Amino acid sequence: MSIELRHFRCFLAIADALSITRAAERLHLTQPAVSRTLRQLEQELGRRLVDRSTHHLALTPDGASFRDQAAIAVTAFDRALRLGRHTAWPLRLGHAWSAAGTGTTALLRRWRQVHPDTPLELLRIDDRTAGLTRGDVDAALLRGEVHTPGLLTAQLTTEPRVAGLPADDPLARRPALSLSDLATRTIALNTVSGTTTLDLWPAAARPTSTLPIANQDDWFAAVTAGRAVGVTTTATADMYPHPAIAYVPLTDAPPVPVLLAWRDAPGHPRIPDLIHLAREVMGGAEQGSREA
């Protein structure tokens, strides 16, 4: 038996749904057919991809690693098919939060003017690399240091950090704050794609109470409800002003680098153009790319 594209699609459906039943429904196949296809793929690879020993399905470490590679392969195939049918090849740009900040609108409009034949699709994906390693996007706007193997990055700019507080919080009336002012508060930490960790504070003065969240929407909900305070960048303050949130500058928090990242592999031919335009719009100095 040889591995076919249907094996990849079947595995990706299982990995996404973590259920043979739901994967079968999505693929319009029977459950035995999905189980058989998965078993064939595992036998051909010589690796166990899905752990069926518990009540709920879970990916094995090999399965989690293979998922990203399978997604890239399926995406590449689908793109080649679209190109063969003479359809436009959109350039998909991922972000986990705040996109290009105040430069977002300018970036999208300038791209449309300069490259009208290549649609630029901005996609928010709640993932550390905004879907880049899974093949969901061609490039991604990321914040913070990126150490994912196989990615190249170009720094576009840096953004100062600010505190996000309920508008009626006593600290919200101050013109500026230090990290120590937040140390006694519950801190909302985006554990999926955020740049704030307890390492931001000195070891002897770290907050003792945190509220883990998974995305920007949950961050806003936690802060507006008064459940926690947060640390973000000026891009969030500029793009998402909210009457129930006060953004106060932090005087002793280091700025956050904003990067454009892409895979170190053959990809969309317009990525160099995107790097150039993003640097121009966001005001970053020309810098060499590097492997993450």
pLDDT in tens, 282-292: 975 444 445 55
Instruction: Flag whether the pTM goes above 0.75.
Output: no
User: What are the b/e assignments for 37-60, b being 16+ CB within 10 Å?
Assistant: bbebbbeeeeeebbeeeeeebebe
**Distance between CA 229 and CA 278 in Å, rounded?**
31
Residues 212 and 218: beta-carbon distance below 8 Å: no
**Distance between CA 17 and CA 68 in Å, rounded?**
15
Assess whether pLDDT exceeds 50 at residue 168: yes
**Distance between CA 195 and CA 215 in Å, rounded?**
12
Highest mean pLDDT, choosing among 36-50, 108-122, 128-142: 108-122
Using DSSP's 3-state secondary structure scheme, residue 189 falls into strand
Domains of the chain plus CATH, in order, are 5-84 (1.10.10.10), 91-150+260-291 (3.40.190.10), 161-249 (3.40.190.10)
Residue 76's pLDDT band (boundaries 50, 70, 90)?
Answer: confident
Q: What's the pLDDT at 288?
A: 44
> Which residues are CB-contacts of 137 (< 8 A; sequence separation ≥ 6)?
92, 93, 94, 123, 125, 130, 131
Of 62-76, 79-93, 127-141, 209-223, where does mean pLDDT reach its minimum?
79-93
Q: Average pLDDT, stretch 266-291?
A: 77
Q: What are phi and psi of 54, to 5 degrees?
A: -105, 175
